[in-house]
């Protein structure tokens, strides 16, 4: 399988996982609205009409446009990267899967379906979804790949 095949498989798998989990959680919670999984993790229904952490509410078309532009930018970066490396494919695949998963929600529902609620007592992290996790993991992999000692662009110690 070539690099674009690997990337496509990662993106497709991520999007299917994201959309399937959103569907299952929203079907289940349609009657209960909340499921306390542990003392720090709950599943809740949340319709995010804004951006990350719910900023700029009601600007769905702006976020759709931004998402499409980001997809093109990510593909442009991927085209110029070392596509043979697994880390490149995983990082880019995760970010693309997350972006596509949330874009599907924006196009289909005019909001993003969030449901993961992490909390300690009454302090809650903003609600998020699996697509957001994929984006964070992908960006983290990109940062690690870029900043790790011995990675391209990092100075090496010479004896």
Active-site annotation, residues: 114, 132
Planar angle of CA 92, 115, 53, nearest 5 degrees:
65
- The neighbouring-strand residues paired with 47 are 113
Q: Which residue has the tokens 């609205």?
A: 33
What separation in angstroms does the CA of 34 have from each of 7, 46, 126, 136? 35, 10, 15, 25
Strand order in the sheet with 41-48: 34-36, 41-48, 112-120, 123-124
Of 36, 38, 49, the C-alpha closest to 113 is 49
Encode burial over 62-84: b for 16+ CB neighbours within 10 A, e otherwise.
ebeeebeebeeeeeeebeebeee
């Amino acid at each position: 399988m070539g690099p674009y095949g690997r990337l496509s498989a990662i993106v497709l798998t991520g999007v299917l996982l994201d959309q399937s989990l959103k569907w299952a959680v929203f079907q289940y919670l349609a009657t209960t609205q909340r499921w306390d999984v542990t003392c720090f993790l709950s599943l809740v229904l949340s319709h995010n009409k804004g951006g990350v952490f719910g900023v700029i509410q009601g600007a769905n078309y702006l976020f759709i446009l931004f998402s499409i532009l980001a997809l093109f930018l990510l593909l442009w970066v991927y085209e110029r990267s070392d596509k043979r490396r697994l880390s490149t494919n995983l990082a880019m695949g995760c970010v693309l899967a997350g972006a596509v998963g949330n874009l599907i929600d924006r196009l289909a529902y005019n909001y993003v379906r969030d449901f993961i609620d992490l909390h300690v007592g009454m302090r809650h992290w903003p609600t998020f979804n699996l697509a957001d996790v994929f984006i964070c993991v992908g960006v983290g992999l990109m940062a690690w790949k870029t900043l790790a000692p011995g990675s391209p662009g990092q100075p090496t110690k010479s004896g």
